[in-house]
Structure 1
Amino acid sequence: MTMTLDQVHLGTRGKRPAAFERQGGPRGRHRSSVEYAATLLLACLVWLWPQPAGAQLVGDTPTAARAADGSYISWREHVIDEPATAGFGLSGSDGLVMADLDNDGHEDIVSVHESDSEYDSTVPDPDYVPDAEGHVRVAFGSADPDVWTNVTIAEGADAPAPEDADIADVNGDGHLDVVVAAELSHLIYLQNPGADARHAKWPRLILPMTKGRGSYIRVFLADLDGDGVPEMTAPNKGAQRPAPEDFARSTPVSIFSVEGDPLKGGNWTETVLGRYSVPQNAEPVDIDGDGDLDIVVGTRGENRILFFETPGDGRRAFRAH
């Protein structure tokens, strides 16, 4: 089966950035890495090949490729959120996650927008201090892939240069909450207000032990100890734009646990798994297949990957490998 190159919308960081619809044929299958490589190579050859003026490009016409039974796969792009519809300079779009936040049966999208289009966040510049700007947006879905209700649930100093988000029911009320990693500052918990999630202000807490402590680039929610309450894992990479002195020091990869009301800062505790040079990931995954979640860590300054094995007995005595 072949997809039309003009209808493919490539997302960021492996997450699903837009609603899509399949046309014709049976349910799609996973494509192998060889197939992906061949498709991308074909795309590059077509796009780079000299074209006479006025010639039709691949994207101008749909493919005629079909399987033996006549079925085919294609993707159609639907615009969900953009500056024109947002009504302001939405920029620096980065991480996103999907879940049904309002329990209406339709997937919603939480997206973070770093607002870093005026500077290069990959190059150190100690003399430049970016403004505390950024937006955390929710696109509430519907039965129509062209109809979305977009709202901002955090911005500015609450979410300066937000880089990543995750979703889980942290307070156990049946509504999914949101946590965000802000690259200019901290981790913030945003509590779903429930039935009025599209209109009410989302109650929030900046985790006090993360405020002013460095730079958070990834955040995850998962129940690590099986008690029904999700924990938060996050790496503190030390600085948004790490300079040589930042690579020379070590900053923590941590688990953040809550007991009681998540909106009270004193109910959160931090467990430091280890300290590394510019750590950039701390993702829960059952890497050893024993039925419980471990934590995979990537460190940029040390150029290595390691994982913390969960003991599986409810304790937090993780063992590093």
Structure 2
Amino acid sequence: MDDVNRRAHRQGAALRSALVVISLIGLGAAASSRLDSQEAGETTTAAPAPIGTSPSTETPIQVWSEEIGGRVLPCDIDADGRADLVVQTWGVGEVPGELRWLGDGGRTSTLVGKARYYGDELGSGDLDGDGDLDLVAPVGTHSLGKLAWYEHPGGDGTGAWTEHMLGTVDPKGEVKDLKVHDLDGDGVLDVVVRTLNVVAIYSRLEDGAFRSRSMPCKPREGLALGDLDGDGDMDLVLNGYWWRTPSDPWSDAFDEFIYDPQWFQDATGSWMDFASLPLVADLDGDGQKDIAVAQPEKHGVPVTWYRNVDPMRGAAGWERHELLVVDCCHSFGAADHDGDGDLDLIAGMSKHAEKPELLMLENEGGARAFRRHLLAPFPTYKAQLVDIDGDGDMDIASAHSWTDAPVRVFENRRKPMGLDAWKRLRIEADLPERAMFVDAADLDGDGDMDVVAGGHWYVNPGEASKDWEARALPAPLGQTALVRDLDGDGHVDVLGTQGKGSASNRSFAWARGDGRGEFQAYTNIDASGWGDFVQGRAWLGGSGGRTVVLSWHDRGKGLTGLRIPERPTEETWTAFTFSEHSLAEDLATGDMDGDGDIDLLLGTQWLELGGDAPIPHILDGIGDLAPTRNAPKGVPASDRCSLADIDGDGRLDAVVGFEGATDLLWYAAPADPTQPWTRHRIAEVPGEVYSMHTADMDADGDIDVVVGEHRAERNRLLIFENVDRGARFVEHVADDGRGAIDHHDGSLPVDIDGDGDLDVISIGWHTKTLWLFENLSR
């Protein structure tokens, strides 16, 4: 997959895609001309693709060709603003394969070339600088890897294409992976290929010739591009290791770093041990690129993702998380498939799987959990993600296999949801102690989201309205601050203090989870003498290793950092002053300045990280806000905050609510975030904003705001629907606040009932109740 914009970070939680599967059995084939005798550049026309409905699942499918199969590449060959599909079929014996492009939904088919095509991936880009898209294709056999590029004929691409041989890449192995990208930043596209034995780079010179560089690599396959180290260029990610791109990739060495040796170790003596499909994407929304890997050949291997903590520390710099098993996963990609603002995983099985399926692994928000959804009961091969119908979401294109037709497009037909149907439920009517935070994660490994608050966690019963079993976290952990995989073993842990309720307590403990609902407590944290009780918490990775940042109610204590050692259960966690600068309230993380590392939002101020010490900046002044009687010393103070791209410009904006003011504001990030941010008013909230989060609540592709009131006569739960990219917000009342209820550090969106929409969990300060607001949109 292409590297996603590193500024793009939206906070959200799970949402199921609304797809409808179409079966073509018994519906009739599209009428098309035989292609065997077609000449290069000749175009044929076929009838529209058939449409129908399958009783098994509900995913819409278009068939673009029932005659050819193989590798598929989406690109706009005819420059009409709509995606076309390039398809390469293998040559067999003396019979050449074909390279052709399909346009107009598969109604037109143009032959690009005939050759003994082999290999597993195609590429496109303007290689000759004339303004149109050229194509790159591998040629050869299993034991011979060659490369050719095809010059676009101009116009609509239906003329004769010219073949140019780039030469032999590997005399002993086929081309497995192929990417087109300007690797060295000189404005000229490079072709990066991996064979069974080497990685090679090709680039066109001014005289039309191509220069190349070949470097040996570990066997056998797997290549993705992504900026892992945040230096602005694309690094090369291979099976279990990655190469850091130097300033001059034509002469300087590519430094090698391991992220998981599993993918290049000879475990069984089979070539399959070295097979992999890696991708690079920011799965947890922290602004840093993570890695995910699937096994394309074997059965029984789980999809695995690796959180980027410190990429140049080797395997210790990556947190490994195993997801579900996907047999023979020969299609693997990342995209916001369900439109909730985070990146989901698309995983497709080849025809070698016992029961081939195309799956969406739905990111539940922050990569806390991934939920399995069946998109289609068909095999796929190197499926590609593309907005085929121009409706703003990602569809999926694939052939049936590396040799077999048809070529299918699986359409993404998600629909926006309403925001006015809600049901209030109690998870716990009377909490044993006041909870400072509420969070959700799959603690017992059963696939649904459990809830953590105070010193207890609550087992999701499977149906929201059923009784929730309360389980105590192991003593002496008494007050939860952070729910996270703290030790990097792939299981969720809990960090907190040894105090009860809001009583001052500076002694910490953490509970190490085993992924099955059992925890072991540790107190190896040296953090005595810091603050009173925790008001905000944040998780940071990077060159300093795993670090937790804490904001205390006592403003004078600054921000405390907890540094997690490499052996978290054996060594002592150390506390340090992260910054003297604190607003003593909420914290939010994200890459606010686009430099590839995480920064910290404090409310109306933020800390620029990545240097020797945090640098404070101000978003904008708030001296003109009208104070309420609750304002500290008569001056409003920022309380809850969140980072999200409100206006869709690719930059992280800030949403801020206040103590002592009824204003709910969002601040548009400027190109230079150290300059003043533009302030916008979302709404007046009479009960003030002590409880707020952001997420795409209606699945329309933008970020909405969830607020729970704290100091009103009736403390409502409100959804502010983002309209026209932050130009205005429409208020929806999810709960009218009847009875004894308030919201404090709650109102967290999460799909609790697994129905594909976002519910809300919340807690109060005055009322010790753990609430669930079930979204009835689906």
Return the TM-score normalized by structure 2.
Answer: 0.26
Residue 605 of structure 2 aligns with an amino acid whose one-letter code is S
Deviations 1:15-68 (A, max 9, x none): 12893565xxx968xxxxxxxxxxxxxxxxxxxxxxxxxxxxxxxxxx9xx99x
Structure 2 stretches of 5 or more lacking a match?
A: 1-422, 450-460, 623-635, 681-778
Residues 436 and 502 of structure 2 are in contact (CA less than 8 Å); yes or no, is this contact kept in structure 1? no
Summarize the Cα distance change of 1:295–1:159 in structure 2 as closer, same or farther, 3 Å threshold: same
Q: Secondary structure at the match of 1:137?
A: strand
Q: How does 1:13-32 map to 2 (within 5 A)?
A: 13-16=437-440, 19=443
Paired AA for residue 490 in structure 2: G
For the structure 1 residues 305 and 201, does the alpha-carbon distance in structure 2 shift closer, same or farther, using more than 3 Å as the test? Answer: same
Cα deviation, residue 138, structure 1: 2.4
1:77 counterpart SS class = strand
2:516 to 125, 132, 144: 144
Deviation, structure 1 residue 226: 2.3
Map of 1:123-202 to 2, 5 A cutoff? Answer: 133-151=505-523, 153=525, 155-169=527-541, 171-172=542-543, 175-184=545-554, 185-194=557-566, 196-202=567-573
8 Å CA contact 1:162, 1:182 repeated in 2: yes
The structure 1 residue matched to 2:608, chosen from 232, 245, 257, is: 257
* Offset at residue 135 of structure 1 (A): 3.4
1:270 deviates by 0.6
**Which residue of 218, 224, 233 maps to 2:592?**
224
Give the letter for the 2:655 counterpart.
V
2: CA distance between counterparts of 1:136 and 1:298? 29
Verify: 1:302 aligned to 2:654, yes or no. no
C-alpha separation in 1, matches of 2:638 and 2:428: 36
Q: Secondary structure at the match of 1:217?
A: coil
Give the superposed CA RMSD.
Answer: 3.8
Distance 1:163 1:153, change over 3 A: farther
Deviation at 1:114, TM superposition (A): 6.0
* Distance in 1, Cα, partners of 2:618 & 2:533: 24
Residue 496 of structure 2 is aligned to residue 79 of structure 1 = no
Contact 1:282 1:296 in 2 (8 A): yes
1:108 aligns with 2:493: yes
Give the counterpart of 1:285 among 628, 641, 644: 644
Which amino acid letter does the alignment assign opposite residue 654 of structure 2?
I
- Distance change in 2, residues 1:134/1:16 (3 Å): farther
Of residues 674, 678, 682 in structure 2, which corresponds to 1:316?
674
**Number of matched pairs:** 226
1:5 positional shift: 7.1
Counterparts of residues 36-55 of structure 1 (less than 5 Å): none
Deviations 1:152-188 (A, max 9, x none): 535442233222211120x335x43100001113211
SS at match of 1:198: coil
Q: How far apart in 1 are the matches of 2:536 and 2:487?
A: 21
Matches of 2:438 and 2:579, distance apart in 1: 31
Identity among equivalent positions (%) equals: 19
Alpha-carbon distance change, 179 to 303 in structure 1, aligned in 2, over 3 angstroms: same
Distance 1:218 1:6, change over 3 A: closer
Give deviations 1:107-152, integer Å, cap 9, x for gaps.
122235666656xxxxxxxxxxxxx743343222113312333335
Shift in Å, 1:79: 2.0
Match for 2:584: what amino acid?
Y
Q: Give the corresponding residue for 1:45.
A: none
Q: For 1:16 and 1:80, locate their aligned partners in 2 and report how far apart those are by CA, in whole Å.
A: 14
CA–CA distance in structure 2, aligned partners of residues 274 and 114 of structure 1? 36
Structure 2: distance between partners of 1:105 and 1:273: 36
Partner amino acid for 2:617?
A: T
CA deviation map 1:93-118 (0-9, x unaligned): 3x633222211111122235666656
Partners of 1:108 and 1:142 in 2: how far apart?
Answer: 8
Q: Give the conservation status (yes or no) of the 8 Å contact 1:106–1:142.
A: yes
Distance 1:220 1:152 in 2: 26
Q: Identify the structure with the greater helix proportion.
A: 1
- For residues 441 and 448 of structure 2, the distance between their equivalents in structure 1, rounded to whole angstroms, comes to 20
Structure 2 Cα separation of the partners of residues 299 and 205 of structure 1? 28
Distance 1:290 1:154, change over 3 A: farther
Q: In 2, Cα distance between the equivalents of 1:7 and 1:135?
A: 26
CA distance in 2, matches of 1:306, 1:285: 13
Distance change (3 Å), C-alpha of 1:20 and 1:12: farther
Question: Aligned with 2:519: secondary structure?
Answer: coil
Query: SS at the partner of 2:529?
Result: helix
- Asked if the contact 1:283–1:297 (Cα under 8 Å) also holds between the matched residues in 2, the reply is yes
Instruction: For 2:491 and 2:430, locate their aligned partners in 1 and report how far apart those are by CA, in whole Å.
Output: 21
- Work out whether residues 668 and 678 of structure 2, in 8 Å CA contact, stay in contact via their aligned partners in 1: yes
| C-alpha contact (below 8 Å) 1:111/1:165 kept by paired residues | no
Answer whether contact 2:639 2:659 (CA < 8 A) is retained. yes
Contact persistence 1:101–1:108 (CA under 8 A): yes
For 1:168 and 1:223, locate their aligned partners in 2 and report how far apart those are by CA, in whole Å: 11
Distance 2:437 2:502 in 1: 18
Cα gap change, 1:14 to 1:293, in 2 (>3 Å): farther
Shift of 1:296: 0.9
Q: Give 1:293 shift.
A: 1.6
Task: Provide the rounded CA distance (Å) in 2 between the counterparts of 1:115 and 1:12.
Answer: 10
Q: Which has the larger radius of gyration?
A: 2
Q: What TM-score does the superposition give when structure 1 sets the normalisation length? A: 0.58
